[in-house]
Amino acid sequence: MDIVFVKDLRFKTIVGCWDWERQMPQTVSIDLEMGWDNSRAAVSGKLHDALNYKEVSNRVEQFVKEQKYELVESAADGIAALVMAEFAVPWIKVAINKPFAVTGSKSVGVVVERGNHA
Protein backbone atom coordinates (compact mmCIF):
# COMPACT_ATOMS: atom_id res chain seq x y z
CA MET A 1 0.00 0.00 0.00
CA ASP A 2 1.20 3.50 -0.80
CA ILE A 3 1.27 6.30 1.76
CA VAL A 4 -0.12 9.79 1.28
CA PHE A 5 1.02 12.12 4.05
CA VAL A 6 0.50 15.56 5.53
CA LYS A 7 3.18 16.78 7.95
CA ASP A 8 2.82 19.53 10.52
CA LEU A 9 -0.71 20.72 9.71
CA ARG A 10 -0.91 23.63 12.16
CA PHE A 11 -3.88 25.62 13.36
CA LYS A 12 -5.29 27.12 16.54
CA THR A 13 -8.18 25.44 18.29
CA ILE A 14 -9.67 24.78 21.70
CA VAL A 15 -8.08 21.60 23.03
CA GLY A 16 -7.38 20.65 26.61
CA CYS A 17 -9.03 19.86 29.89
CA TRP A 18 -7.89 22.74 32.08
CA ASP A 19 -10.17 25.78 32.46
CA TRP A 20 -7.68 28.13 30.82
CA GLU A 21 -7.33 25.74 27.85
CA ARG A 22 -11.10 25.83 27.31
CA GLN A 23 -10.91 29.64 26.99
CA MET A 24 -7.79 30.18 24.90
CA PRO A 25 -7.11 28.57 21.50
CA GLN A 26 -3.79 26.75 21.29
CA THR A 27 -1.73 25.68 18.30
CA VAL A 28 -1.84 21.99 17.46
CA SER A 29 0.30 20.20 14.90
CA ILE A 30 -1.11 17.16 13.13
CA ASP A 31 0.69 14.58 11.02
CA LEU A 32 -1.33 12.20 8.87
CA GLU A 33 -0.13 9.08 7.08
CA MET A 34 -2.86 7.52 4.99
CA GLY A 35 -2.78 4.21 3.18
CA TRP A 36 -3.86 4.68 -0.41
CA ASP A 37 -3.37 2.94 -3.74
CA ASN A 38 -1.74 5.61 -5.90
CA SER A 39 -1.43 3.41 -9.01
CA ARG A 40 -4.60 4.71 -10.68
CA ALA A 41 -3.63 8.35 -10.14
CA ALA A 42 -0.07 7.66 -11.29
CA VAL A 43 -1.35 6.30 -14.61
CA SER A 44 -4.13 8.84 -15.22
CA GLY A 45 -2.38 11.91 -13.85
CA LYS A 46 -5.80 13.13 -12.68
CA LEU A 47 -6.57 14.57 -9.26
CA HIS A 48 -9.92 12.78 -9.07
CA ASP A 49 -8.01 9.46 -9.00
CA ALA A 50 -5.81 10.58 -6.10
CA LEU A 51 -6.41 11.09 -2.41
CA ASN A 52 -6.79 14.86 -2.28
CA TYR A 53 -4.63 15.78 0.70
CA LYS A 54 -5.79 19.40 0.57
CA GLU A 55 -9.42 18.33 1.02
CA VAL A 56 -8.42 15.94 3.80
CA SER A 57 -6.42 18.68 5.56
CA ASN A 58 -9.22 21.23 5.31
CA ARG A 59 -11.77 18.72 6.61
CA VAL A 60 -9.55 17.66 9.52
CA GLU A 61 -9.03 21.29 10.57
CA GLN A 62 -12.76 22.04 10.35
CA PHE A 63 -13.63 18.90 12.31
CA VAL A 64 -11.14 19.48 15.15
CA LYS A 65 -12.20 23.13 15.51
CA GLU A 66 -15.87 22.11 15.72
CA GLN A 67 -15.30 19.38 18.32
CA LYS A 68 -13.23 21.37 20.85
CA TYR A 69 -11.74 18.21 22.34
CA GLU A 70 -10.55 17.96 25.93
CA LEU A 71 -8.04 15.21 25.15
CA VAL A 72 -5.69 14.87 22.19
CA GLU A 73 -6.35 11.11 22.45
CA SER A 74 -10.01 11.72 21.58
CA ALA A 75 -9.07 14.14 18.81
CA ALA A 76 -6.68 11.63 17.20
CA ASP A 77 -9.26 8.85 17.33
CA GLY A 78 -11.95 11.16 15.91
CA ILE A 79 -9.70 12.28 13.06
CA ALA A 80 -8.87 8.69 12.17
CA ALA A 81 -12.55 7.69 12.09
CA LEU A 82 -13.50 10.76 10.06
CA VAL A 83 -10.83 10.32 7.38
CA MET A 84 -11.49 6.61 7.03
CA ALA A 85 -15.24 7.17 6.69
CA GLU A 86 -15.33 10.29 4.50
CA PHE A 87 -12.35 9.58 2.25
CA ALA A 88 -12.46 5.75 2.10
CA VAL A 89 -8.95 5.46 3.51
CA PRO A 90 -8.32 1.87 4.65
CA TRP A 91 -5.45 2.71 7.02
CA ILE A 92 -4.37 5.86 8.84
CA LYS A 93 -1.79 6.97 11.35
CA VAL A 94 -2.54 10.24 13.14
CA ALA A 95 -0.08 12.13 15.34
CA ILE A 96 -1.23 15.16 17.29
CA ASN A 97 1.27 17.45 18.97
CA LYS A 98 0.60 20.29 21.38
CA PRO A 99 3.74 22.41 21.21
CA PHE A 100 5.04 23.65 24.58
CA ALA A 101 2.10 22.11 26.51
CA VAL A 102 4.46 20.90 29.22
CA THR A 103 7.01 23.29 30.67
CA GLY A 104 10.44 22.41 29.38
CA SER A 105 9.17 20.32 26.46
CA LYS A 106 9.08 21.11 22.79
CA SER A 107 5.84 19.18 22.31
CA VAL A 108 3.58 16.50 23.78
CA GLY A 109 1.01 14.39 22.03
CA VAL A 110 -0.24 11.01 20.88
CA VAL A 111 -0.08 8.74 17.86
CA VAL A 112 -2.91 6.41 16.87
CA GLU A 113 -3.05 3.90 14.03
CA ARG A 114 -6.34 2.54 12.69
CA GLY A 115 -7.38 0.16 9.92
CA ASN A 116 -5.52 -2.42 7.89
CA HIS A 117 -2.06 -1.61 6.62
CA ALA A 118 -1.58 -4.11 3.84
Domain ranges of the chain: 2-115
Mean pLDDT of the chain: 95
Pick from 37, 21, 52: nearest CA to 116:
37
What gap in Å lies between CA 15 and CA 8, rounded to an integer? 17
Looking at residue 2, what is its pLDDT?
96
pTM (predicted TM-score):
0.93
Looking at residue 101, what is its pLDDT?
81
Looking at residue 118, what is its pLDDT?
65
Pick from 90, 32, 34, 35: nearest CA to 64:
32
Looking at residue 41, what is its pLDDT?
95
| Domain with residues 2-115, CATH architecture | 2-Layer Sandwich (3.30)
- In three-state secondary structure terms, 31 is strand
Tens of pLDDT, residues 52-110: 999 999 999 999 999 999 999 999 999 999 999 999 999 999 999 998 888 888 999 99
